[in-house]
Structure 1
Amino acid sequence: MKRNTIQLKENLIQAGIDEIRQHGIDMLSLRTIAKSCGVTHGTPYRHFESKESYLKVVLSRLSVFLSDEINKGIELETSAAEQLIQIGFNLIEFAKNYPYYFEALFIKFPFKYMEVTEETISPDSDLPGFNTFKYIVLKLRKEENFNNSEAESLLHFWSFISGLAIISNSPIGTDLDNETVLTTIRHMLDIYIKGEKL
């Protein structure tokens, strides 16, 4: 019986991930999830307190996937700047390949699960993808001796990379090849670092 409960909970989570991949997070409902798993509409509430707690679990799982994707090709012995360039490129590829996942994690819901203070940004749930990004930005701040706050650096880089990902997925982004994207990220980072050293 215990195994069936664990498996059903996993099925409900996977159904949410599949629903977001196919239709986006706005179309997600626990009734639809229950139907796709062949259970009554009240069943998800027995495993998750509310739709909000269900979404936290699903988004955390998506964030694990994001973390795996943005870490591809990262060479740990390189500088934080080089690692951040690769993460930025990988995030843009993630947005192209999984547009609804990107929308859910970076546009629709991220700030519901984060505390933004003058000093920093801290997730209040398990978001490994954001934590990977934050770790590299903080490493860059240390390597380059930035004077601004952690929160400012995180917001600046998050805004730029997210914005570039949105543009890359738009009709005007079809002309942005991989080399152009890498050059743009590298150029932005160079300007930012030089600006922080003035």
Structure 2
Amino acid sequence: MKRDTDKLKENLILTGVEEIKQNGIDSISLRTVAKSCGVTHGTPYRHFESKENYLNTVLKHISTLLDGELIKDVDISQNAKEQLIQMGVNLINFAKKYPNFFEALFIKFPFKYMKFTDKTISDTSDFPGFSRFKEVVILLRKEEKFINSESESLLHFWSFISGLAIIAGSLVGNELDNETIKNTIRSMLEIYIKGERQ
């Protein structure tokens, strides 16, 4: 019985992930998810209690996918700047490949699972994609001896790379190849680091 319950719960999550991938987070409905899984519309509520809890679980699943994409070709023996450049390229490629996932995580719902303070930005729900990015930014701050707050660095880098991802996913950005993206991120980081050293 437990195995069937776990299997159904996983099916509900994966159905939500696929729904977001195909149609975006705004179109997701627990009734539609239940119907796709062949269960009554009350079943998702029995497993997740609310739509918000369900979405949080689905977004965590998507964030785990993002985490796997973020670390592709990242060489942890390199300095934080080089790691962050590769992560930026990977995030932009993720946004191009999965535009609805990117929108759900970085445009529609970031403030649902993130807490901003004067000192830092923390994810309140264990979203590994953002956690990985944060680790590298903190390492860069240490290597480059930044004087600004951790939250400022996180917000600056996150907004720059997310903004670049939005441009890269647009019709205008279709011309941006990985080398151009990498050079753009490198240039921004060098300007930022130079500003922090003064």
TM-score range for the pair, normalised by the shorter chain length:
over 0.9
TM-score scaled by structure 2?
Answer: 0.99
Q: CA deviation at 1:77?
A: 0.5
Q: How does 1:38-187 map to 2 (within 5 A)?
A: 38-187=38-187
| SS at structure 1 position matched to 2:22 | helix
What is residue 2 of structure 1 aligned with on the other side? 2
Identity percentage of aligned residues: 66
Q: CA deviation at 1:176?
A: 1.2
Q: CA deviation at 1:102?
A: 0.4
Q: CA deviation at 1:78?
A: 0.1
5+ residue gaps, structure 1, are none
Q: CA deviation at 1:2?
A: 1.1
Matches of 2:102 and 2:123, distance apart in 1: 17
Q: CA deviation at 1:112?
A: 1.1
Kindly indicate whether residue 22 of structure 2 is the aligned counterpart of residue 26 of structure 1.
Answer: no
Matches of 2:130 and 2:178, distance apart in 1: 23
Matches of 1:112 and 1:63, distance apart in 2: 13
| SS at structure 1 position matched to 2:125 | coil
Matches of 1:54 and 1:98, distance apart in 2: 20
Moved over 2 A (4+): none
The residue type equivalent to 2:184 in the other structure is: T
| SS at structure 1 position matched to 2:78 | coil
The residue type equivalent to 1:62 in the other structure is: I
| SS at structure 2 position matched to 1:115 | strand
Kindly indicate whether residue 194 of structure 2 is the aligned counterpart of residue 194 of structure 1.
Answer: yes
5+ residue gaps, structure 2, are none
**RMSD, aligned CA:** 0.5
Q: Deviations over 1:15-46 (max 9, x none)?
A: 00000000000000100100100000000000
Q: CA deviation at 1:170?
A: 0.8
Matches of 1:185 and 1:174, distance apart in 2: 17
